Amino acid sequence: MTLKNKKILITGGTGSLGHALTSRLLKMGVETVRIYSRNENKQVQMDSEFKDSRLRFFVGDVRDLQRLTRALEDVDIVFHAAALKHVPVVEYNPFEAIKTNVLGSQNVIDASLMNNVEVALCIGTDKAVSPLNTYGATKLLMEKLFATAHNYLNKQRHKTKFLAVRYGNVLGSSGSIVPKIISQIMANQKITITDPTMTRFNITMNHALDFIFRVLEKGDSGEIFVPQLKAYQLSDMRDVLLDLLKSDNKTQLIPVRTGEKYHESLINQDELRYTYDDGEDYVVTQKLDNLKKRGFKKATLKKEYSSDNVELYSKDELKKILIKEKLIPIK
């Protein structure tokens, strides 16, 4: 799918993914990128940062169907990234999370149908897999809504293709392990880790963007896509950051946080029967039509696709990735 001259809308577009996605889209020659979010201050900052006449800013909440429907007029593609995402905040405010993450996602679907957009793609998370916390449960429902929205399509009236992508925390994103350890090292504090043997999938922002655009090309409505990734052990990431920043900070073990898993899962055991593989990505779907024509075969995964069941990065590999992504500050 060529994106040149397309009109794009990103919900939650002032976040880290929205920034990176906007930058990539503008380079691809889109006609317009509409940023839809609640935070006017972040919109002003983003406008000042990009200084591009193709950017449009809409103050609004995904909870507001009327406003969202107006913002989606004449839009070709919607990237749905808006969500309440901080696990402890969502645990304390579950009603609000349902309004934004679940009902807001339904509004995106309804508004997309009303405006007959070409593609509506939602950004999922590993926490939706066998969810252990409220945030994961709301994101699971978001996935389910997008994966089943095509059941309500009248092909003679609607052309919208609904897709979902699912991956873990982006390396270096706000609140993730790398900036947390870096800030502790820079402040000469103890490095706090729940368990050194914990593992996490590794995906960089550029890798995540490449994955999202691949899904736009290969996806058929009602599918959930998962990238094929390697992982790392927390103790290895800690050691690499200490080495790169030439520090010898001590480590302090802390209790497991509410809703935290020791290993990330991107496809659980029960989903394996519906999982297919094209050598680059997995797709979880019960729609079997056109899979073979698109190069997908039944996945050979024997265990759940978890960060403790895949190849781990070596310390040297992690070091190269951190340097390439420019995540190491000058001390």
Annotated catalytic residues are 127
> How far is residue 53's CA from residue 169's CA, in Å, rounded to a whole number?
31
**Angstrom distance (rounded) from CA 18 to CA 82:** 9
Residue 202 tokens, joined: 């590794």
Parallel, antiparallel or unpaired: strands 223-227 and 161-165: parallel
285 alpha-carbon distance from chain centroid: 19
Tally of CA atoms within 13 A in the half-sphere of 73 that contains its CB: 6
Contact 146, 117 (CB under 8 A): no
By the 8 A CB rule, do 313 and 230 touch? yes
> DSSP class of residue 102?
I
Residues 167 and 211 sit within 8 Å (Cβ to Cβ): yes
User: Of 191, 180, 127, 117, which is closest to residue 149 (Cα–Cα)?
Assistant: 117
- Residue 35, phi then psi, degrees to nearest 5: -100, 120
Q: What CA–CA distance (Å, rounded) separates 277 from 75?
A: 31
User: Distance between CA atoms of 254 and 266, rounded to whole angstroms?
Assistant: 25
